[in-house]
């Protein structure tokens, strides 16, 4: 066996050699140049409105009228141009002067022989030095939020025609060519305004997700779509399901849904698990047990009742799936016009089934044995409102019948 001698090299010498290599390398020079540019910039290329962002890894920008992100690769030499979408489109480049405070000028060229357009930018946001870990244009950080905000705000939101649901009216609102959609409740009540603010915020977040959904580098628009469907609405409660699907890189597309319930009197989201007498209860956050641990928080009779219930399906083509066999993490909860819905939380291998929305509904009148005091009070209000509504519907019909009898 051959023996190898280990020669010790002084650490200081290694550090000095490494530093020397970094200082003379093009990447080091690019990194130094990028540090002066770190932040969000807004201005024009020619007459086109643009927003740009630099972090320690390089630059990105988009045109407000066409908000797909374009990458800017660092110069290979000092004072060299920043190249757009290096690797696919290498004909456009930014020739920048050194920034003067928060002002940046330069020239944009389609090619070496092409026309020149002036670049004029003003820095609108620069991360503080203590935000070292939050200096990223492409992932959740203050820099990312500031970079994306203008292109999200620039997107038009369109409203559809009124639709009737449980005696009330709403309309579908959408953006990004209909790929991102939600609902807007119609009415002047403050409770409706509060709900609409929450729904609108969710829509705006989805617009941001759509714009950030990119496949490959240089970036290309991925596939991303969302929608909202109302499930229950009376004067006290609003319940809806949100659905998202897409492919923004990675091995597989994704599908998912979640259900939210709002107390319209307070404008706050309600955790419906807190209406129940739970077997295994985690006082601070019961959904950690009830949504993600199969059946363990449900009373045995209720768990059995759910499994004996025929599922409600939005899509008849989903009836061939056995959701209760696939359920991995228990259930999420929502309201519908028949009762309280238990929606199976499906395991990752069941991603195809995630395009289906299945719910196992227990009628409101059958719930009291499983409810705590706050749950019973809430369900009693729902039943009382339903009876009141039914009485209002019966009264005109009875009056009309009496009129016909008198006429005879």
Domain ranges of the chain: 27-153, 156-270, 272-401
In terms of phi and psi (left: phi > 0; alpha: psi -120 to 50; beta: otherwise), the region of 249 is left
* E strand or H helix that includes residue 183: strand 180-185
Mean pLDDT, residues 206-220: 84
Q: What share of the chain has pLDDT > 70, as a percent?
A: 77
What pTM does this model have?
A: 0.80
List, for residues 24-45, the tens digit of each pLDDT value. 333 444 455 678 899 999 999 9
Task: Please tell me the predicted confidence (pLDDT) of residue 356.
Answer: 80
Task: Please tell me the predicted confidence (pLDDT) of residue 281.
Answer: 56
Closest CA to 273 of 378, 355, 202: 378
CATH number corresponding to 156-270? 3.30.565
Contact 223, 213 (CB under 8 A): yes
Task: Please tell me the predicted confidence (pLDDT) of residue 166.
Answer: 96
Mean pLDDT, residues 114-136: 84
Which residue would you say has higher pLDDT here, 259 or 77?
259
List, for residues 75-119, the tens digit of each pLDDT value. 776 778 899 988 776 678 999 999 999 999 999 998 777 789 999
- Residue 365 C-beta-side C-alpha neighbours within 13 Å: 4
Contact 314, 230 (CB under 8 A): no
List, for residues 101-113, the tens digit of each pLDDT value. 999 999 999 877 7
Q: What share of the chain has pLDDT > 90, as a percent?
A: 49
**Maximum average pLDDT range among 14-23, 122-131, 220-229, 388-397:** 220-229
Task: Please tell me the predicted confidence (pLDDT) of residue 300.
Answer: 81
- Distance, in Å, from the CA atom of 62 to the CA atom of 53, rounded to the nearest integer, reads 9
């Amino acid at each position: 066996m051959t023996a190898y001698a280990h020669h010790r090299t002084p650490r200081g010498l290694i550090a000095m050699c490494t530093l020397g290599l970094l200082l003379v390398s093009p990447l080091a020079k690019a990194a130094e140049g990028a540090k002066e540019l770190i932040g969000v910039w807004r201005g024009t290329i020619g007459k086109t409105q643009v927003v740009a962002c630099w972090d320690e890894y390089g630059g990105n920008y988009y045109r407000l009228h066409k908000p797909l992100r374009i990458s800017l690769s660092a110069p290979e030499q000092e004072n060299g141009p920043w190249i757009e979408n290096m690797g696919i489109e290498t004909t456009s480049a930014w020739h920048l002067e050194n920034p003067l405070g928060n002002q940046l000028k330069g020239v944009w060229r389609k090619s070496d022989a092409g026309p020149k357009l002036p670049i004029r930018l003003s820095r609108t946001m620069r991360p503080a030095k203590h935000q070292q870990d939050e200096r990223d244009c492409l992932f959740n950080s203050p820099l990312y939020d500031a970079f994306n905000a203008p292109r999200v705000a620039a997107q038009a939101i369109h409203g559809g025609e009124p639709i009737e649901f449980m005696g009330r009216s709403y309309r579908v609102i959408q953006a990004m060519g209909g790929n991102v959609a939600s609902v807007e409740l119609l009415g002047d009540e403050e409770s409706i305004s509060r709900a609409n603010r929450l729904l609108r915020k969710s829509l705006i977040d989805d617009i941001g997700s759509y714009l950030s959904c990119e496949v490959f580098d240089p970036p290309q628009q991925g596939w991303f779509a969302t929608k909202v469907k109302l499930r229950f609405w009376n004067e006290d409660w609003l319940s809806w399901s949100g659905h998202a699907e897409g492919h923004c890189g990675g091995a597989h597309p994704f599908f998912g849904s979640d259900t939210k319930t709002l107390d319209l009197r307070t404008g706050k989201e309600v955790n419906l698990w807190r209406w129940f007498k739970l077997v295994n209860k985690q006082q601070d956050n019961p959904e950690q047990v009830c949504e993600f641990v199969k059946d363990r928080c449900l009373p045995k009779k209720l768990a059995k009742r759910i499994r004996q219930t025929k599922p409600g399906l939005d899509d008849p083509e989903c009836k061939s799936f056995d959701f209760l066999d696939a359920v991995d993490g228990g259930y999420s909860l929502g309201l519908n016009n028949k009762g309280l819905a238990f929606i199976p939380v499906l395991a990752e291998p069941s991603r195809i089934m995630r395009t289906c929305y299945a719910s196992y509904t227990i009628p409101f009148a059958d719930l009291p044995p499983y409810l705590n005091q706050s749950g019973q009070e809430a369900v009693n209000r729902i039943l009382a409102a339903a009876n009141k509504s039914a009485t209002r519907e019966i009264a005109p019909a009875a009056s009309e019948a009496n009129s016909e009898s008198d006429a005879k």
